[in-house]
Amino acid sequence: MNIMYVSDENFAEITGVSLLSLLETNKHMGEIHVFIVEDQISKENKERLVQTAQAYNQQLDFIPMPENEKLLEITPPTSRWKRNVFVRLFLGVLFSKYPEVEKVLYFDGDILITDSLEELWNTDITNHLGAACLECMSNFHKWAIGAKKTDNYINTGMLLMNVVEWRKQNIQDKLIRRIYERKGKVEYPDQDIFNSTISNQFILVSPRYNLTALAYDFTYEEMRIYRKPQFGYSKQEWEAAVASPAVVHFNTSFLSIRPWFEGSKHPYAELWWEYHAHSLWKDTPLRKMKDFEKHERVVKIYHALPSWLAIRMVGFMHSYVKPVICLLK
């Protein structure tokens, strides 16, 4: 099983906890080859990451981060996003020295593995670019990024990727052309580029393989009002995933705090803390969230409003106002 992460120094600790959870819950999978595309990770943290893999007799290799600006010949605006956010576009470049890698399972570092990945890894993607989970997103957002309302919108925090097809179809160049067409104007940089170009070439898998903060901040009905998707997972499928996730994705949410920050009440924060306590970063204290007081005020205001009004207000902001602001930048 080939695993890929992308990390800089700030996220090395968080990626290390994710890696530990992956190796612990998948000891039955035999050989696991971990690749970390590294963006100036310190020598100390590199050694810790390698030692984490070695403790399970697994191999870990670092891949230098491609120079995005040279490959793109432009510097797309990424606002709050890290400069390494576009790395997944260059799959062929990343694995040019590893011709034996035919498929790779990519994870964001802010992910906790809570169950076996065997079924996901064995998904047949022979004639596809890969496999992914749907993200709940409105038709207006799709229009704003140049996608059709009937197109899938996937979350790129977990991607099972077919490296062979990626090279064969020259996907890298297709995605770069799309960035030029959009003039870098995207709300979710690489995710919006993926979803306006190649999302329909991914097989859709159970949401239990990429369960985001939406699942724990909102009920199924609230989520559909908030994000206004045309289609998505059924209530039964979604609630089954919430009850038994394999991949918990601690992505940002205005209602919750990620577990490496003080004050997190995420249902899987305690499990993250347990892995952290057994990691080589165990002596590193929890971080203090920037703008914590502002976050608490927003949450307080949200819960003070009638629920029917609050969910529709934030839904309007997310589904219509944010895409328009992005287009006007």
The per-residue pLDDT for range 256-288, each reduced to its tens digit, is 999 999 999 999 999 999 999 999 999 999 999
Please say if the pLDDT value at position 81 is more than 50: no
Is residue 274 a contact partner of residue 112, using CB atoms and an 8 Å limit?
A: no
Contacts of 63 (CB under 8 A, 6+ apart): 35, 36, 37, 38, 94, 95
Whole-angstrom distance, CA of residue 150 vs CA of residue 327: 21
Please say if the pLDDT value at position 63 is more than 70: yes
Q: What percent of the chain has pLDDT over 70?
A: 94
Q: What percent of the chain has pLDDT over 90?
A: 80
Q: What is the pLDDT of residue 72?
A: 53
Whole-angstrom distance, CA of residue 240 vs CA of residue 207: 9
Whole-angstrom distance, CA of residue 20 vs CA of residue 16: 6
Q: What is the pLDDT of residue 73?
A: 52
Average pLDDT value for residue range 87-99: 88
Where is pLDDT greater, at 93 or 292?
A: 292
- Is 184 buried (19+), middle (13-18) or exposed (0-12) by CB count in 10 A? middle
The segment with the largest mean pLDDT, out of 20-34, 86-100, 186-200, is 20-34
The per-residue pLDDT for range 180-206, each reduced to its tens digit, is 887 766 778 789 999 999 999 999 999
Please say if the pLDDT value at position 78 is more than 70: no
Q: What is the pLDDT of residue 88?
A: 81
Query: Domains along the chain?
Result: 2-328 (3.90.550.10)
